[in-house]
Structure 1
Amino acid sequence: MRTPEQIWEAADLPARRLAGVALNPSSPEDVLLRLLADGPPAVRMVLCRDRVLPDTVVEAVLQHPDTRTRSFFARNPHVDPAQRARLVDDPEWLVRALLADGPKPPFDGVCGPLPDEVVVRMIDTYDDDSLSGTFYRQISTALQLSMPTHPVAKVRRWGIGRWDQLPAEIRAGLLADPDEDVRESARSSAERSAQSKDPAWVERELPDRSCHARWDMLMYQALSRTVVDNVLTAPVAEAERKVIAGNPSLPADVVVLLAADPDPAVRERIAYRADLGPAERRALAVDPDPAVRLAVSVHPELSERERAAIDYEVPLDDSFQAWPGPLVPRDPVHVRRDADSGHPLIRRRAAEDRTLPPDLLERLAADEDLGVRVLLAQYHPDAPAPLLLRSFLEYAGPQRGHLTTRPNFPTAGLAAFADHEDPEVRALAARDPHTAPVTVERLTQDPDPAVRSALARHPNLPRARLTELLDDAELAHAAAANPALDPELIQRLVATVAPSVDRGAGTGR
């Protein structure tokens, strides 16, 4: 089976041109339906995967006889998840498996969860292999929280995965569940949880060679004094002292010992421990290593005055990107306390709260720290336009492009960046409806391919240049997606598509 990349590589110039027509917001429904019915594989792939579709076209996609065509729609991040969810009972395993796997980044925006009832049906009817990988990203927070007590047994089994976070009464109910598989899964989880808290069991089962299982046990499970002493005196591999430094079961005297370890990486790890004593906090606050001082400066037991007395420096080259939030929202009192902190790293924690009230949103939007501003822009649904633009201009790390998908990202005035030295900033001119035609045309010859492609789709591109680009091997795809493309030309391009033969359900697989 050809990959999407191979399908695109195999597409000739006419096919790429038609793929642009498939993306063109001015293409009428009859054109999209013709491309869906008769277009070559690359065209159907782009049409079904890379745009929002009218309802009539969605209906045609769902009934399309070609498996790959339906499978592309199953991973479309732009459509309503409820539309993709209608493939839940597709006759082909490939379509169902890709629906479960979900859209793959990078894509514009954040893909929402599938409807709860569809997720429940998938858990209840799909095999476990189909629900591995990234399926969990498509489950709503409400359903994740309700899983341990859900009326469907297989869903309750999924809820057991959070065993240690479940209340005692819910764990007891699962251990006595009427479903045998649920009971067995609960018993296994309870046993594993008990074992991980039993130092004798950990000591007995700890692998004597460096491997993932050994490192996992050293980091998270209860360690006996014998295991700790062995790591301190005769570690199996380098860095094991650093590994155990974060283990919650570490004895107090070993915490004190490792707080003075000659390896700064060990001291840095120790500095984050909540059980770090006052004497150790004071010593690490003046540690010669800046990373250690930074680590201890965010310790929860420090007062704001004590934090301010530490000579720390907050890095500005971190990755400021959005991640899924916690299942249980943070206490608003704690969020406000963090927002009021004088420490940038603590304010950054507050900036990641999607429910930040308006007064804190306004205050943090003007924060002096780049990380606070960018995280706020990445996370908050009401991040204001000036903050979004400023963050895009000042931040060049991962998920920079995600900022342009936020609801309030501006369009007006972006033509002013047409000559910016950063190509990603120059490309913003493609978003400004008032960018001058002469500027648009010039940027279709920009040294950067992404800038050329973005401006080839601008409706202000002079018609002569637009027509010229339709025969350009690189930019024909983008030019054909230009909403200013002559409707008659769109119809002539589509008229070149050969009528389709009966594809059959397995074609293209």
Structure 2
Amino acid sequence: MHHVLYGLAVNPALSPGQVGRLMSMADEEIATRLAGRADLGHEQAVALAAHSADSAVLLAHEGRLTSADIDPGHRPEAALALLDRGTGSVEWARHFAADPVRERREKLAACPGLPSDVVDTLAADPDVQVVAELAYWTTPDNAARLAAHPHAEVRRAVAGNEATPAATLAALVTGDGLPPARHCLVCDRGETPLVHDPRRPRLDGDLPSGASCDGSHESTVQGLLLAALGNPATPVEAVLGCADHPSVLVRRTLAARPDLPRQVSVRLAADPDPGVRAALAENPATDKALIHTLADDPDPEVRRGLARHPRVPLTVLTVLARTTRTGHTPLPRVTTASPVEVDQLARSPEPTTRMLVALRRDLPPETRDRLADDPDAKVAKAVAPHPGLTETRLRAMVDRHGVHVLAGVAANPDASPALLEDLVRHVPAPQRMLREVARHDSATAPALLACLTDRRARLMAAGHPALPPPVIADLLTDTDWQVVEAAAANPSLPPAVTAALLALPHRG
């Protein structure tokens, strides 16, 4: 029964009175789902917030409650959500800065626009996690101040803050001008050297696997370096030495920086780790000469990365497509191809090249239709979901290529109800095709009934408003709870069934 109520809570066909009835019987899960309803009035939102703490937080985050609606003593998490939106009271901030619950102080530390006295209180908090949270979100001046904090965890947070001044980020990487850190989360736990067993995901709740400290706070320092490398505000000159860092993860992060100088790119192109070379291959900073070098890389991960480079020459990309799986989404270089280039790709004698451009969904009509008539199944499959294809052409694709294009045709937004009904009668009927039909806006009752035979398609069909109401009602007793929820959320659920369900006594 609970899953029925969970589905009903998001059913858009419920009347205001029925929403109120659900509110009166709501547990936290039902209340949370009710909080997401677009038709929830302000009075209902206030009543729901009083009923459920989790819902109060959601409603506050979405701006559906004001500071006048919230008592911070009764709903502290919702008050913090309003502070996070910048609409809470300054006095609330001062109150939470001294809250005995660490998690609340930590949430406060991430809020924008905090008054200076609150920032000072949080910066001196006895719990380093609170200070680190402040360091990650605070203003440039405060970040620069916290960069000299004695705890390495706070410094790591400063390194990840994009508001941190460039000079401060450089100092964190090099250590110049900063006193050495005296603590880290690892040595806080006991005598050094201490290494956390990588087979255990967490130690004391907050140490990642592999965390270690021999007195130099090495794992936290490496985390600081990774944060700085990933921070676009960090001057690239400060991190160039990382090209020879012993950590593969550090070198991979460096290789992805879009401001990488060529001499460093050349060095990374010869890195023994294919992940480093793959990151470099995808990097927009990688120039044409290096692109040609990486195109001959023996590792497919590198070639896949190169295929995603936004400026890879089309001549290189077409060669890559013959030997490398490039996925089912348009590649950046193909997406930005000029009309002339699109036409050239579509007329290529290589089916893999034609397939690359067939994945676009903004092709000129003549190009789209030519690719739909392509004799190669993988090209036709790629273009099949393209809007604008006529029913005649879609049916011709099915006749020509059969099972290979069924899912793509079913995904076409212009597929007619009659065509979808014919597709589900195909033998064999691929599961992916049934799932595309089940989510299609034009799917009819006969087509959706056929989709009920597949487990995942059944879930999608259960929520489709074209499914016959009696079938929707029957699905309320399905063995799959997800199907039950989808059916209960279906706006075509018979009103009498909805009324009867809400009239039943609620058994918590």
TM-score, normalization: structure 1?
0.51
Matches within 5 A, 1:177-326: 184-185=141-142, 192-197=165-170, 201=174, 209-210=218-219, 211-217=222-228, 221=234, 228=241, 232=244, 235-238=245-248, 241-246=251-256, 253-271=263-281, 280-293=290-303, 295=305, 313=323, 315-317=325-327
Does 1:494 find its partner at 2:505? no
| Contact 2:70-2:78 within 8 A present in 1 as well | yes
Question: What is the CA distance between 1:194 and its match in structure 2?
Answer: 1.1
- Considering only aligned residues, what root-mean-square deviation do their CA atoms show, in Å? 6.2
Identity fraction in percent: 19
1:422 corresponds, among 420, 431, 446, to: 431
Report 1 or 2 for greater relative contact order, CA contacts < 8 Å, sequence distance ≥ 6: 1
Does 1:61 find its partner at 2:44? yes
2:20 corresponds, among 33, 39, 43, to: 33
2:327 partner SS: coil
Does 1:448 find its partner at 2:452? no
Q: Describe the shift of the 1:287–1:90 C-alpha distance in structure 2 as closer, same or farther (beyond 3 A).
A: same
Which residue pairs with 2:87 in the alignment? 121
Does 1:45 find its partner at 2:31? yes
Deviations along 1:20-74, one digit per CA (max 9) or x if unpaired, are 54444444332332332x3242684366145432xxx523422316535474376
| Contact 1:385-1:409 within 8 A present in 2 as well | yes
| Contact 1:429-1:435 within 8 A present in 2 as well | no
- Cα distance in 1, alignment partners of residues 484 and 239 from structure 2: 68
- Cα distance in 2, alignment partners of residues 468 and 191 from structure 1: 58
Question: What is the CA distance between 1:193 and its match in structure 2?
Answer: 0.9
Deviations along 1:344-392, one digit per CA (max 9) or x if unpaired, are 99x999x99xxx9x88799789989999x999x9xxxxx94769x9999
Question: What is the CA distance between 1:90 and its match in structure 2?
Answer: 2.5
| Contact 2:407-2:430 within 8 A present in 1 as well | no
- Cα distance in 1, alignment partners of residues 317 and 41 from structure 2: 57
Pairs aligned (count): 383
Deviations along 1:192-212, one digit per CA (max 9) or x if unpaired, are 411434699357879783531
2:218 partner SS: coil
| Contact 2:46-2:69 within 8 A present in 1 as well | no
**Counterpart residue identity of residue 41, structure 1:** D
| Contact 2:45-2:65 within 8 A present in 1 as well | no
Q: Describe the shift of the 1:273–1:481 C-alpha distance in structure 2 as closer, same or farther (beyond 3 A).
A: closer
- Cα distance in 2, alignment partners of residues 457 and 225 from structure 1: 55
**Counterpart residue identity of residue 45, structure 1:** A
Structure 2, unmatched stretches of 5+, are 94-104, 120-137, 146-161, 181-215, 346-351, 398-404
Question: What is the CA distance between 1:490 and its match in structure 2?
Answer: 3.8
Deviations along 1:245-294, one digit per CA (max 9) or x if unpaired, are 45678775554444344544444444456665765454444444455455
| Contact 1:412-1:432 within 8 A present in 2 as well | no
Question: What is the CA distance between 1:100 and its match in structure 2?
Answer: 7.9
- Cα distance in 2, alignment partners of residues 27 and 314 from structure 1: 51
**Counterpart residue identity of residue 16, structure 2:** E
- Cα distance in 2, alignment partners of residues 440 and 190 from structure 1: 52
- Cα distance in 1, alignment partners of residues 422 and 11 from structure 2: 26
1:491 partner SS: helix
TM-score, normalization: structure 2?
0.51
| Contact 2:438-2:457 within 8 A present in 1 as well | no
| Contact 1:202-1:223 within 8 A present in 2 as well | no
Matches within 5 A, 1:88-99: 89-91=69-71, 92-97=75-80
